[in-house]
């Protein structure tokens, strides 16, 4: 590791900038720190000396290209290598803005070409199976059972991210307007519609929640001790529901958000509207779901049209 190290002043200031000014999540900041630590370690070996600075002329485009080559030799996927390059570019832009370097070496480095990866999602039949299981759990009228149904209704019915669901507090679901106020990536707030089914699930869950905590304040999703339900527990709840549907097994909780977007687009929803519902900054991020819909249309065409083959 070099003198700058992951605890060096430039990196420390950058990570503080991400956390305080850009208000990125702790997990995202940790990922940046990990990627930059690997870059620093590589540069120490690449430059052949223990003492170097980010402003050194040898920390250039060729050095970053060599870093991408190193990522490949370590067995990292193209997607992981691209993420590390993106972290380096963001860091160098920060250094340039702070006048620590004259120009960013990352601007001239082309990242690895990524294959378009369609997000995992549930079929409509899988959704029916999964929610039938969640409904049976809620019928037990326990804290855990009623909470399971509410989790599933909000993840699929409103397209929430797991982190957004985890951070919900009592009072953010407005039953009159049938909406929920969530804090998304970059601490950006948005209002998302809530289904009637989710509101019914909330009513059943609220009775059981009141047995372990105050009705009017605190986290929405509680564990049996009255504390905020962990992200791991939410993931485990979804995993148990997914086990009943063959097409859902092995998928993560995020698959419900993917299913939310895919099923809306398949039903003819406007792409810009779906973008706003998901809280995406760029339309290109939302467009991945149009590929999913096109794949389905092509599959139906090939199976149904007599002259498709």
Non-local (6+) Cβ contacts of 39 within 8 A are: 67, 84, 87, 88
**Active-site position among 147, 257, 258, 263:** 257
From the list 93, 100, 239, 254, the catalytic residue is 254
- Is 257 annotated as catalytic? yes
Q: State yes or no: is 93 an active-site residue.
A: no
Catalytic residue among 32, 156, 205, 289: 289
Catalytic residue among 190, 280, 291, 296: 280
Reading phi first (left if > 0) and then psi (alpha if -120 to 50, else beta), residue 185 is in: beta
Structure tokens given for 185: 């990536």
Catalytic residue among 185, 231, 239, 296: 185
- Cα 67 from Cα 47, distance rounded (Å): 12
Burial class (CB in 10 A: 0-12, 13-18, 19+), 223: middle
CA distance 113 to 106: 16
Rounded to the nearest angstrom, the gap between the alpha carbon of residue 55 and the centroid of all alpha carbons in its chain is 33
* Catalytic, out of 161, 190, 200, 208: 161
> Strand order in 189-193's β-sheet?
173-174, 179-183, 189-193
Q: Please say if 302 is a catalytic residue.
A: no
Active site residue 280: yes
**What positions carry a catalytic annotation?**
161, 185, 254, 257, 280, 289
């Amino acid at each position: 590791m070099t003198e700058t190290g992951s605890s060096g002043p430039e990196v420390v200031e950058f990570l503080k900038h991400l956390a305080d000014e850009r208000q990125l999540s702790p997990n995202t900041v940790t990922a940046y720190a990990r990627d930059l630590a690997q870059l620093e370690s590589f540069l120490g070996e690449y430059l052949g000396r223990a003492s170097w600075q980010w402003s050194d002329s040898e920390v250039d485009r060729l050095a970053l290209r060599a870093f991408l080559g190193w990522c490949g030799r370590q067995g990292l996927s193209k997607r992981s290598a691209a993420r590390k390059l993106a972290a380096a570019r963001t860091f160098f832009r920060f250094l340039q803005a702070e006048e620590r370097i004259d120009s960013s070496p990352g601007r001239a480095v082309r990242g690895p070409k990524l294959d378009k990866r369609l997000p995992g999602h549930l079929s409509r039949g899988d959704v029916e199976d999964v929610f039938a299981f969640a409904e049976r759990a809620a019928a037990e009228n326990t804290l855990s059972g009623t909470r399971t149904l509410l989790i599933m209704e909000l993840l699929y019915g409103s397209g929430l991210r797991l982190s957004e669901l985890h951070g919900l507090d009592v009072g953010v679901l407005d039953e009159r307007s049938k909406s929920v106020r969530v804090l998304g990536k970059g601490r950006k707030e948005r209002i998302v519609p809530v289904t009637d089914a989710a509101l019914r699930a909330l009513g059943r869950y609220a009775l059981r929640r009141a047995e372990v905590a105050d009705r009017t304040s605190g986290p929405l999703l509680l564990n049996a001790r009255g504390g905020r339900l962990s992200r791991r527990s939410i993931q485990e709840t979804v995993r148990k529901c997914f086990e009943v549907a063959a097409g859902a097994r092995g998928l993560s909780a995020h698959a419900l958000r993917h299913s939310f977007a895919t099923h809306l687009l398949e039903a003819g929803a406007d792409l810009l509207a779906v973008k706003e519902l998901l809280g995406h900054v760029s339309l290109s991020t939302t467009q991945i779901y149009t590929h999913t819909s096109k794949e389905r249309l092509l599959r139906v065409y090939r199976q149904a049209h007599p002259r498709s083959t």
